[in-house]
Structure 1
């Protein structure tokens, strides 16, 4: 791989900065009129911020691992969550970044197929891309992928090898181009 083609890695490795962003998300939720009954972490990237938010809001947390790509695994859980929302349960979904919007779009699509009540669902992310194809309700930082090509490496990812981080970044070239 040539140096010119290597992604610009941006490590978000300071615990205090991450914690400040999570606290900001929690405050936004606490101060809003809509209040969740559950926090749902979207795996893998949303699990860590969701755990913190669930503790800060004193709410139970559920997790859905969409990143595993095991056929049907997340879909079965999403159908259960959709049914809960249809029965009136309010849920806050948490992810690390709304980049292209692919994950959140997929999650919303599966929830719709399961008959969810969208009024009982909200989405929060640590970093929101204003150029994303989907919108979220709460975020700590805003970027614009049209101009910002950095690959964000969250604290829980930074323990991986540099090669694995670069490989993941290169697996979705449209985020970097």
Structure 2
């Protein structure tokens, strides 16, 4: 795909579809052998699903704003979360999509560096890319990014301008071509 080509935008904007995905993910969490004590939304994309899952499972929610790229901000919070894990708390991180795996890998590494116990940590996403370099333990839909080049636009993103959505999609051309 050339830098100027229009990405294939796939809008996931129907509330009922989103709610159905949240219910499926919540059911998978509830039925798993591993039960979290906290839901942690990964900002920005994971915050909305995390709030819904937190309510669905009646669990407290924390948030980590990874997307802001403010130096040290998320890292400091992740240090506190790593301490919670080291003290025995089970933490489920929620994001919208595990695409390249960059977010999950980054968070896992910071948590490990902060003393996190790996057994107390899981990731859940609405959409999981089988080609991702990091693992999400729970997901609703699975894609193969080698075959599926759609840029997923979640309901909370759909309120943005098309230009902004296209610009964000083009910022990671390796996912589109």
TM-score > 0.5, shorter chain as reference: yes
Task: Determine helix, strand or coil for the equivalent of 2:125.
Answer: strand
Task: Give the 5 Å matches for 1:166-177.
Answer: 166-177=166-177
Equivalent residue runs for 1:36-47 within 5 Å: 36-47=36-47
Residue segments in structure 1 that go unaligned for 5+ positions in a row:
none
The separation in 1 between residues aligned to 2:107 and 2:5, in whole angstroms, is 31
> 2:67 — aligned with what?
67
Is the 8 Å Cα contact of residues 83 and 116 (structure 2) preserved in structure 1? yes
Task: State the distance in 1 between where 2:4 and 2:162 align.
Answer: 16
Structure 1 position 5, deviation (Å)? 0.8
d(CA) in 2 for partners of 1:98, 1:56: 22
Cα deviation for residue 33 of structure 1 reads 1.3
Give per-residue Cα distances to partners, 1:68-90, cap 9 Å, x unaligned.
00000000000000010000000
The CA RMSD measured in Å over matched residues stands at 1.2
Q: C-alpha separation between the residues in 2 aligned to 1:34 and 1:165? A: 36
Displacement, 1:3? 10
**Residue 94 (structure 1) aligned with residue 94 (structure 2):** yes
2:130 is the alignment partner of 1:130: yes
Q: What is the aligned length?
A: 176
Give the Cα–Cα distance (whole angstroms) in 1 for the partners of residues 168 and 88 of structure 2: 38
Distance between the aligned counterparts of 1:145 and 1:32, measured in 2?
Answer: 27
The alignment partner of 1:133 has SS state of coil
Are the counterparts in 1 of residues 75 and 110 from structure 2 also a CA contact under 8 Å? yes
Secondary structure of 1:70's counterpart equals coil
Q: Could you report, residue by residue, the CA deviation over 1:75-117 in whole angstroms, capped at 9, with x for unpaired residues? A: 0000000010000000100000000000000000100110100
2:122 and 2:29 map into 1 onto residues whose CA distance is 10
Offset at 1:4? 6.8
Q: Give TM-score scaled by structure 2 length.
A: 0.98
Which whole-Å deviations, capped at 9, do the CAs of 1:34-91 have from their partners, x for residues lacking one?
A: 1100000000000000000000000000000000000000000000000100000001
Which runs of no fewer than 5 residues in structure 2 stay unpaired?
Answer: none
- The structure 1 segments of at least 4 consecutive aligned residues displaced by more than 2 Å after TM superposition are none
Matching residue of 2:141: 141
**In structure 2, the residue corresponding to 1:5 is in which secondary structure?**
coil
1:135 to partner: Cα distance: 1.1
After superposition, the C-alpha distances for 1:109-149 in whole angstroms (9 at most, x for unaligned) are: 10011010010011000000001011111000000000000
Q: Name the counterpart of 1:117.
A: 117
